[in-house]
Amino acid sequence: MHVNNKLAMLALILLCVLPPTLLATELELPDAFSKSHHTNNWAVLVDTSRFWFNYRHVANVLSIYRSVKRLGIPDSQIILMVADDMACNPRNPRPATVFNNANQNINVYGDDVEVDYRGYEVTVENLVRLLTGRLPDTTPRSKRLLTDEGSNILVYMTGHGGEGFLKFQDSEEITNIELADAFEQMWVKRRYNEIFFMIDTCQAASMFQKFYSPNILSVASSLVGEDSLSHHVDPAIGVYIIDRYTYYALEFLERVMPDSKKTMGEFLTVCPKRVCISTVGTRTDLFRRDPNKVPITDFFGSVRRVEVSDNFVNVSCPATHKAESDQQKKVKEKFQYVDQLLIDTLV
């Protein structure tokens, strides 16, 4: 009986002490789950294919690069890995350009692309070192993933793959186990808050099957046993110009603005099977929030929450200014310039 009275008294005290706004908002778990606590956004965009007939993979990664940059992620927080330079390939009839549509509406290469890893720098070792932060001391800042526990990271990969692996340069592969272990190292070392993993390759869903680290949302262009198909050919260059999944993902992203209300849940359904032909795979069990309540700009943009204050704060220190003025006086007393001597006095 006494225990029940104490509990009732405690509940009454809490109702009196806690403000109404706290009771109405902060204690509502579904709303709290939809809020992100990230402080910065990064993107790691990887094309793993060489050779002219893989033109579409370069167009894929540059399309995503263009979208995240347009939505606010600066080049300093984008790591772009491109295995081949299609813009300067001798077979390119339009040098210094890469298009993702036969109509040539958008030159995704643009005038200010910053490629951080190019050509034979795009290797499995360099990717794993980049993600885990195990780079040599001589590595420049532009080639480092300088994330922290408040970082939301978009990881996009495209190339040729199979069940449980993605090929690099047609000479080596990264397995789903190696990628899962790299993400686990990132989590242990507090290198991310949340990750959105996006991959466009054959049997793409096999690449996220081994993930076991928290706060990872994943989407793949095809399920295990399925091929990811290209979208269309550009007759001017004679090769396929973009893959189907990335084509429809880009079509969705082109309608997204920095203040957009579109959600990650909507993005996960951008390519139904009737247009993708392959079946898009998703994995949400490791992600703590409901994708339908997560703004797409939490991963594809860099929207800052700013609190404006009308209060003025005096950050100057009078004692410091006094010490500086006294020091200046001493210097003036010690070193003083005198008037120049007249010429006739020297003769």
Q: How far apart are CA 245 and CA 208, in angstroms?
A: 17
The residue count of the chain comes to 347
DSSP H or E stretch at residue 80: strand 78-82
Q: Is the dihedral of CA 15, 18, 24, 30 positive or negative?
A: negative
Q: Smallest Cα–Cα separation from 196: which of 103, 298, 59, 341?
A: 298
Q: Is the dihedral of CA 103, 276, 115, 238 positive or negative?
A: negative
What's phi and psi for 340, nearest 5 deg? -70, 145
Residues annotated as part of the active site: 160, 202
**Between the CA of residue 337 and those of 26, 305, 324, 332, what are the distances in Å?**
68, 54, 21, 9
Q: Where are the beta strands (DSSP E) in 122-269?
A: 151-158, 161-162, 165-168, 172-175, 194-200, 216-220, 230-234, 239-243
Dmax over Cα atoms in the chain, in whole Å? 114
